[in-house]
């Protein structure tokens, strides 16, 4: 019997013939935490009695969620992480480098890797064909010490996407549509495995967006085949040697197959306060928006900034709408500067934040006021998510975000493209 | 045997409801952080909960972030177990890793304030207020062993490795 991508990767790293439902102990190739989960991870590591890190060079601490620090307490947490990294030979990715998941895909993750991060959006690296999943601080602390952990091998849902996207529709709309269809717990404990001719042609950037949000319908991983698109991306990052082809077996067994015709998809958004509360953008047309945020591990990549810049070039954001932009990494910021996207967005009235998580989780850099509405390209719109339980967050694509910034109200990007 | 009062919550209580990201600056000051437990779902919860009480929730409890601080502040509030129709994957693992039982059952008939009695070994929960008894969903063996040691860190302190 053939294997799914999830079974294939976990079989290899556990040296067993892993099948869905099995509990295995698998080697972990890369482990990380960030500045809001890292301090507890470090404390749990010390508490565990484990003395040494299994793979210091494959252990990374990221300062990205509150970078640069907005408060004394968080600065103290950052110092703790830097000290631990220095003492243990751990890699640290400090202020200005960017969001952990973006650095992981640019510089660290390889197809076939098992990756554990103390952040739920660790699933992003599934876009490269890595079995990457989020866990809490205790689990991550133990992985740091032992270099392995236990997994329940997930059953897989095959998501087969065919057809060409309409203009103004992208991977973000596809994943929002899928989450709306499955529900926020529709794939709990499962692997989502994407395939079909749309996927074969889809840019790596859109694959990352889709993998990133797999967790929003409960999935443990969102996996893409490691194919020529992945090879091209790794070559562009100077990592040709990290590539290997990994495809699911033709006779792999899936718990469920979901077929999506990409040509039928419309620009889609998630309404407050759950990610599965989705609707076509056109149905919300006219909703006033005070803040638009383009960035995050979901949609802070060059392709995302490019579409926003193309919509806003030579124009001005609506005077009652603030546009905030955070490139996901330093590498993206530099590329966007060179391409002129940053200048375009600033001239249109946008505010550029340093590479990092920005206002996504409500800590700083764009906390919402009472009753305010934000349209964000991020992945979560829970009540209170952007710092205020009395504010409202809509999630949508960078194209929808740019069109909305232009008119100050929710706007279907097909009207401006 | 665990006994306490039910604090009833609905479906889709996220980790942001449990402990909002806006309190991330308090994550190294757990006593202060715990004062905000479940604040965005029920601001009165923290002043009413007593040691031994239970959280009784609908489906997909704990969806969202990997922050272990979410089950941690619930445990610090004195909650002795969470009962829910279903629970999000990372939250489930985190709670067990902290020695906080998360038990699956149909919570529809349980009301806020009901007296509950949980028999962990027997896998039963009795609602002493309405007289009903329900069977709890099975927890994977590996998680039961971690729970039996009081969590993952005590488990590793004892065994130094995973013993499956």
CA distance A92 to chain B (A): 20
β-sheet bridge partners, residue A149: A26
B164, pLDDT greater than 80: no
Number of structural domains found in chain B: 1
Question: Does the distance separating the beta carbons of A135 and B90 come in below 8 Å?
Answer: yes
| Mean of the per-residue pLDDT values of chain B | 97
Closest CB to B64 among A136, A141, A382: A382
| pLDDT (average), residues B22-31 | 95
Task: Name the minimum distance, in Å, from the CA of B130 to any CA of chain A.
Answer: 29
pTM beyond 0.90: yes
A382 close to B (CB below 8 A): yes
Is B21 close to A385, i.e. CB distance below 8 A? Answer: yes
Q: Which residues of chain A have pLDDT under 70?
A: none
B59: in domain: yes
Cβ of A138 within 8 Å of Cβ of B98? The answer is yes
By DSSP bridging, strand A114-118 and strand A131-134 are parallel
In a domain, B155, yes or no: no
B157, part of any domain: no
CB contact under 8 A, A382 and B88: no
User: Would residue B18 count as lying in a domain?
Assistant: yes
Nearest to B27 among A36, A134, A145 (CB): A36
pLDDT of residue A1: 84
Specify the pLDDT at position A403: 98
Contact A136 B97 (CB under 8 A): yes
Show residues of chain A in contact with B141, CB under 8 Å: 23
**Is B163 a domain residue?**
no
Helix axes A302-312, A398-407, angle to 10 degrees: 30
Query: Nearest residue of B to residue A380 by CA position?
Result: B64
Task: Name the residue of chain A whose CA is nearest to B24's CA.
Answer: A36
Q: For strands B115-119 and B2-8, give the pairing.
A: antiparallel
State the DSSP string of A213-241: TGGGGT-SEEE--B-HHHHHHHHHTT-GG
Could you tell me the residue range of the domain that residue B88 belongs to?
2-137
ipTM topping 0.95: yes
Domain-located, residue B28:
yes
Q: Which domains does chain A have, with CATH numbers?
A: 5-261 (3.30.499.10), 269-415 (3.30.499.10)
**Chains A & B: contacts with CB separation below 8 Å:** 147
The per-residue pLDDT for range B31-69, each reduced to its tens digit, is 999 999 999 999 999 999 999 999 999 999 999 999 999
Determine the distance in angstroms separating the CA of B128 from the nearest CA of chain A, rounded to an integer: 30
Closest residue of chain A to B26, computed from CA coordinates: A73
The reply to whether B108 falls in a domain is: yes
What letter does residue A96 receive in the DSSP assignment? Answer: T
- Is residue B71, in this structure, part of any structural domain at all? yes
Q: Do B29 and A185 touch (CB under 8 A)?
A: no
Chain A hits for B151, CB-CB cut-off 8 Å, are 138
């Amino acid at each position: 019997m053939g294997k799914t991508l999830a079974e294939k990767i976990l079989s290899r790293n556990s040296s067993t013939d892993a099948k869905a439902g099995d509990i295995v102990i698998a080697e972990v190739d890369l482990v990380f935490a960030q500045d809001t989960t890292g301090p507890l991870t470090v404390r749990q590591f010390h508490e565990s009695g484990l003395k040494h890190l299994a793979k210091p060079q494959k252990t990374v601490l990221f300062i990205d969620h509150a970078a640069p620090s907005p408060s004394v307490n968080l600065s103290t947490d950052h110092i703790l992480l830097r000290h631990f990294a220095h003492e243990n030979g751990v890699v640290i990715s400090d202020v200005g480098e960017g969001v952990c998941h973006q650095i992981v895909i640019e510089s660290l993750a390889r197809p076939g890797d098992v990756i554990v991060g103390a952040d739920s959006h660790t699933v992003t690296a599934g876009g490269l064909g890595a079995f990457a999943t989020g866990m809490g601080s205790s689990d991550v602390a133990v992985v740091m010490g032992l270099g392995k952990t236990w997994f329940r091998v997930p059953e897989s849902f095959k998501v087969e996407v065919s057809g060409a996207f309409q203009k103004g529709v992208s991977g973000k709309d596809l994943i929002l549509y899928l989450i709306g269809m499955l529900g926020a717990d529709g794939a709990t404990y499962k692997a989502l495995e994407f395939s079909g001719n749309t996927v074969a042609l889809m840019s790596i950037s859109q694959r990352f967006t889709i993998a990133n949000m797999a967790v929003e319908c409960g999935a443990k991983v969102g996996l893409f085949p490691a194919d020529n698109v992945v090879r091209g991306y790794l070559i562009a990052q100077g990592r040709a040697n990290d590539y290997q082809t990994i495809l699911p077996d033709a006779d792999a067994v899936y718990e469920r197959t979901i077929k999506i015709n990409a040509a039928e998809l419309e620009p889609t958004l998630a309404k407050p306060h759950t990610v599965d509360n989705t609707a076509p953008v056109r149905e919300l047309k006219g909703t006033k928006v005070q803040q638009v945020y383009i960035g995050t591990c979901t949609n802070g990549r060059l392709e995302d900034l490019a579409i926003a810049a193309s919509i806003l070039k030579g124009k001005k954001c609506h005077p009652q709408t603030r546009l905030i932009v955070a490139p996901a990494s330093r590498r993206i910021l530099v590329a966007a500067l060179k391409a002129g996207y940053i200048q375009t967005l600033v001239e249109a009235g946008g505010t550029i934040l340093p590479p990092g998580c920005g206002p996504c989780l409500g800590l700083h850099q764009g906390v919402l006021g009472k009753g305010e509405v934000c349209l964000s390209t991020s992945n979560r719109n829970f009540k209170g998510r952007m710092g205020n339980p009395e504010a409202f967050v809509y999630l949508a694509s960078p194209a929808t975000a740019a069109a909305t910034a232009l008119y100050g109200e929710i706007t279907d990007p097909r009207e401006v493209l | 045997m665990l006994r306490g009062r039910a604090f009833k919550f609905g479906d889709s209580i996220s980790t942001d409801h449990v402990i909002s990201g806006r309190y991330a600056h308090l994550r190294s000051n757990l006593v202060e952080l715990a004062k905000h437990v479940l604040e965005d779902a029920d601001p009165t919860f923290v002043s009413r909960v007593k040691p031994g009480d239970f959280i009784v929730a609908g489906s997909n409890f704990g969806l969202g972030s990997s922050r272990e601080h979410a089950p941690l502040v619930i445990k610090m509030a004195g909650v002795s177990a969470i009962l829910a129709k279903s629970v999000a994957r990372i939250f489930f693992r985190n709670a067990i890793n902290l020695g906080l039982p998360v038990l699956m059952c149909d919570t529809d008939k349980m009301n806020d304030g009901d007296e509950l009695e949980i028999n962990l070994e027997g896998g039963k929960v009795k609602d002493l207020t309405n007289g009903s008894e329900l069977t709890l969903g099975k927890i994977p063996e590996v998680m039961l062993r971690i729970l039996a040691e009081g969590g993952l860190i005590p488990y590793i302190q004892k065994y130094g490795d995973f013993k499956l």
